Amino acid sequence: MQSLADIRERSYRGRMTDSEETLGSSVPDTSNPAAKDPSDWVTGDEPITAAQKSYLNTLATEAGEELSADMTKAEASEHIERLQEKTGRGQ
């Protein structure tokens, strides 16, 4: 018997076309601005976003760390990558 998740995935794949944007791949998408090094971001000096702050709070709590909330988007991204590795969420 097929699981509901398998049925939904097949149904979703059937709706995708070549022109649709997708997330995730076995090959890095170098055209994706989010794939850039944070130090190269145009907006990297802007304050941390609410989404980054929320996720960093979760990661830091899991890692047993306390971070200052006063940081830039680029700094937040670097902390996220480091803490994902530390907590195993980045795998």
pLDDT in tens, 19-49: 565 555 566 566 666 566 766 767 778 899 9
Is 3 inside a domain boundary? no
Is 72 inside a domain boundary? yes
By residue range, what is the domain housing residue 55?
50-91
Is 90 inside a domain boundary? yes
**pLDDT score, position 51:** 94
Number of compact structural domains in the chain:
1
Cα–Cα distance for residue pair 69/58, rounded to 1 Å: 13
Is 18 inside a domain boundary? no
Cα–Cα distance for residue pair 51/56, rounded to 1 Å: 8
**pLDDT score, position 12:** 47
Is 35 inside a domain boundary? no
pLDDT at 65 over 70: yes
Is 14 inside a domain boundary? no
